[in-house]
Amino acid sequence: MWSIGEKQGTDAIPNENFTFLSKGVDFRGILNFDGTIRIDGRVEGEINTSGTLIIGEQAIIKGVISAGILITSGKVNATITATGKIQIQKPGILIGDIRTPGISIEDGAHFHGMCDMGAHKWVEEQTAPKSGHDTAPYRGKARSTSL
Which tens digits make up the pLDDT trace of 70-108? 999 999 999 999 999 999 999 999 999 999 999 999 999
The mean pLDDT value of the chain amounts to 84
Burial (Cβ within 10 Å: 0-12, 13-18, ≥19) of residue 72: buried
Whether the full predicted model's pTM is greater than 0.85, yes or no, is no
Cβ within 8 Å of residue 145, ≥6 positions away: none
Q: Longest Cα pair distance anywhere in the chain, in angstroms?
A: 107
